[in-house]
Structure 1
Amino acid sequence: MNPLLSAEQAVLGSVLLDPGQLAHLDWLAPDHFYRPVHQALFAALRKLRNDGHPALAAETSTPPLSWVTDAVDEASRHVRGLTAAYPHTLISACPRSEHAPVYGRMVLEGAIHRSITEHAIRLHQAARADALRGEVEGALHHADVLTGVLNDLARRWGTEPRPVAPAPPPTTTVAAPPVRADQVAEDERFLLAVLVERPRAMDEVVGWLRPGDFADPAHGQLYRCLGALHHRGEPIDRITLLWEAQQRGLLADGTLSDDQLTAICDGVGAGSAEWLGEQVMRSSLTRTAATSARAVRSLAENETLAPGRLINHALHALGPLDDVRTRWQTANGRPAPPPTAPAHAPTGTPPAQVRAALYRSTPRAAPPPSARPGSAPIPATARPPSRGHS
């Protein structure tokens, strides 16, 4: 049995049994359902309510048959394969029609996981495509879209969007080799050769290029050595670079080899350090975007992760990309836009979008004594409210 499918069937069955439950599901949208036939049915039921269907005014506990048949007729205009018998399957799948908000919450939770997964896949695809074309615009656009989706889903779920690191941290996986790895490694070697040959060129890149931007860890460590020499104001040449590498243990632990140092120090040192640094940064940005997208997708595919935690962990996974993006904009002379503060829900009555998130957290009035034989009613104020969801 698929829990999400059962929840979709149950929420539709509850509305077919009790049209008044739609008033408690204003925060649920048709596209939150996974199956197209369920999307069409929920949209049809909403349209019937908005059109003032007679079933909503019926005083009987059982809605008229026209409520079901009209919903099927309306939904059939937008989806194929819906039979007249299927609504009865939905009704039988609903244990309690008054539990519709809880079933709807389950549907919304599944939609959140599904939406984040889809946008993470698009970000990964855009990053890979940009890496092949030597561009970054597609990755940056889809990163903005994913961030916007996370902020919107946080408001729908009723939580504050803020980056939170997973605890414990996710298992580190081996990163995939960069696209056009040979060209990337060549750009990195050329840049290092220029910096060794013309030490003053460090001033062109030191403000925004970091060792982690190099795809080859050995190249990143060499750049770290050059940065240390530059920071201390010491001369930079092949001998001082070799000595700095040795002092850091890079030769002893095998991070660097004599052949690598020789190839870089004896390489052609002509070229623009700034232009080569931008090539390294471009590769770093698309590589980081792909890594962040994989991390977000891995989080979204974990069905045990609550939506609030999923959203905040996903925002944290996008943090490294935000850092690289800021430095990329600095390298290109474009200051990063000021961060936008997340929208806060107005005070007073919770908006319709967050009623699902608050449904099981809000104390409800106790049933009358007649509803619970042999027991005295417990005032709602005597029960401590839940701590909420994350």
Structure 2
Amino acid sequence: MPRTPAPDEGDLDSIPPPHPVFHVEQALLGALLLDPQHLRDVTGIGPDAFSTAAHGALFAAIRSLPAPDPVEHAKNTKWLAAVLTTAREQVRGLTAPHLHSLIQVCPWPRHAPAYARMIEAEHARRRLAAAAQRLTHTAGDTTFPQHMATTLTEADALALVVDDISARFPPHAGSLPRTSTPEPVTAHDEDAVDEERLLLATATAHPSDVEQMRWLMPGDFTQPLHAGLWQSLIALTRRHAPVDPVTVLWEARHRGLLGPGAEPRELLDLLAGPVGSPEHWAERVLQRSLLTTIRHVGRRIEAFTDDPATTPYQLVVGSRRALADLSAVRTRWHHATASPAQADKTARTRAAKATAAPRARPPRATGPPASRSSR
């Protein structure tokens, strides 16, 4: 009877080789096991910086035990046995031969600080990738309670990770990432199309509200035709021209918006069905735009972290540029959703700065100057 292979037997070729940082971790651990005195030169990393639980457990054990006397350590393996016992409390599969193999693969123990810096850099990459993935997932999952607030909280957490990496690896000139980033994806969403049409219709019916919604930009629309019609509305209101479906149609004609799929009758029908208030639909359009921007930012940063050629310095520069794009849309979102009290407070603050009285000066003397007393 033929022997049935185990599920994973014969499939060893499908197991991916370890990442380069795995070998760096082995070299660092071997250096510290061979000469524990090098631990004082290792900074910037903890057990969580290692890519495997076994490596993290060994580093934690080495760090928790007092360094042995160099002479005694060269004569016996008592300290190595203590490290193994301590590490086994977290990972039971560790063996003494494994520790000796780590010592054997270490090229130069005195290079321990360089190995630690490499591990710190790869840990920064993993942290940034995880934060970007959480942001992308949160932005796309509408089941989260208070979805918008939760997503923005994740964006803040990602920014904190970038700041921390920047403090560890300050960027320098010429450190732009060379990674090709994904193009923005705008999926066809019937709800988004309907909301944009309702916004255009209600804004045409209430043009006085358009001037108050400067926080909404043509780029927030998912349909180029809708973006062009919004630009037409803005142009008419800024010129204080009459606004109705016919005047918007005429402005759209001058902007080259008419054509197949945008016939005059269709545009007139689109602009003639107002429901609700322009502010409500504009906020809906901007919210979708903000979530789309957040997802794209997350994917851009993930692309940086997936490229092994991207250095920590380049990760910082690329991530900050991506977050700057998000900040611009986020600022407009805050303007749109600020409460009347907040908006009034902001307006008063700006007005006070603009009309601030000059500093008080000593009053001018109107009478003859007082005579100086003789000394």
For each residue in 1:164-196, what CA deviation from the matched residue of structure 2 results, as whole angstroms up to 9, or x when unmatched? 994668455250417xx2222211111110011
Partner of 1:111: 123
List runs of 5+ in structure 2 lacking aligned partners.
Answer: 1-16, 344-375
User: Is residue 189 from structure 1 mapped to residue 166 from structure 2 by the alignment?
Assistant: no
1:287-298 matches, cutoff 5 A: 287-298=292-303
How many pairs are equivalent? 324
1:208–1:327 Cα contact (<8 Å) kept: yes
User: Is residue 269 from structure 1 mapped to residue 274 from structure 2 by the alignment?
Assistant: yes
Partner of 2:64: 47
Whole-angstrom CA distance in 2 between matches of 1:168 and 1:227: 38
Partner of 1:155: 167
Partner of 2:221: 214
Partner of 1:278: 283
Whole-angstrom CA distance in 1 between matches of 2:109 and 2:117: 14
Partner of 2:157: 145
Partner of 2:328: 323
Partner of 2:42: 25
**Where has structure 1 moved over 6 Å in runs of 4 or more?**
131-134
Partner of 1:34: 51
1:229–1:236 Cα contact (<8 Å) kept: yes
How much does 1:212 deviate? 1.4
| 1:251 counterpart letter in structure 2 | L
2:177–2:315 Cα contact (<8 Å) kept: no
User: Is residue 8 from structure 1 mapped to residue 8 from structure 2 by the alignment?
Assistant: no
1:226-265 matches, cutoff 5 A: 226-251=233-258, 256-258=262-264, 261-265=267-271
1:93-112 matches, cutoff 5 A: 93-112=105-124
| 1:300 counterpart letter in structure 2 | T
1:130–1:137 Cα contact (<8 Å) kept: no
Partner of 2:307: 302
What SS is found at the alignment partner of 1:68? helix
| 1:36 counterpart letter in structure 2 | A
How much does 1:132 deviate? 8.0
**How large is the Cα RMSD of the aligned pairs?**
2.6
2:175–2:313 Cα contact (<8 Å) kept: no
Whole-angstrom CA distance in 1 between matches of 2:175 and 2:212: 34
How much does 1:203 deviate? 3.0
**Measured at CA, do residues 260 and 81 of structure 1 come closer, stay the same or move farther in structure 2, by a change above 3 Å?**
farther
How much does 1:156 deviate? 2.1
How much does 1:323 deviate? 1.2
Decide which of 75, 91, 109 is 2:87's aligned counterpart: 75
Decide which of 198, 202, 214 is 2:206's aligned counterpart: 198
Whole-angstrom CA distance in 2 between matches of 1:31 and 1:170: 30
What SS is found at the alignment partner of 1:293? helix
Partner of 1:177: 187
| 2:80 counterpart letter in structure 1 | V
2:139–2:151 Cα contact (<8 Å) kept: yes
What TM-score, normalized by structure 2, do the two folds share? 0.79
| 1:331 counterpart letter in structure 2 | A
How much does 1:41 deviate? 0.7
Structure number with the bigger relative contact order (C-alpha 8 A, sep ≥ 6) is: 1
How much does 1:239 deviate? 2.3
Decide which of 308, 312, 321 is 2:317's aligned counterpart: 312
1:208–1:328 Cα contact (<8 Å) kept: yes
List runs of 5+ in structure 1 lacking aligned partners.
Answer: 337-390
Partner of 2:133: 121
2:30–2:105 Cα contact (<8 Å) kept: yes
For each residue in 1:81-138, what CA deviation from the matched residue of structure 2 results, as whole angstroms up to 9, or x when unmatched? 2222211121122111111111111111111111111110000011011488783111
1:356-367 matches, cutoff 5 A: none
Partner of 1:87: 99
Higher Rg of the two aligned structures? 2
For each residue in 1:263-306, what CA deviation from the matched residue of structure 2 results, as whole angstroms up to 9, or x when unmatched? 4223x213111111111121111111111101111111111011
Whole-angstrom CA distance in 2 between matches of 1:40 and 1:82: 10
What TM-score, normalized by structure 1, do the two folds share? 0.76
2:31–2:110 Cα contact (<8 Å) kept: yes
Identity of aligned residues (%): 33
**Measured at CA, do residues 167 and 45 of structure 1 come closer, stay the same or move farther in structure 2, by a change above 3 Å?**
closer
1:191–1:273 Cα contact (<8 Å) kept: yes
**Measured at CA, do residues 111 and 262 of structure 1 come closer, stay the same or move farther in structure 2, by a change above 3 Å?**
same
Partner of 1:362: none
Whole-angstrom CA distance in 1 between matches of 2:58 and 2:300: 35
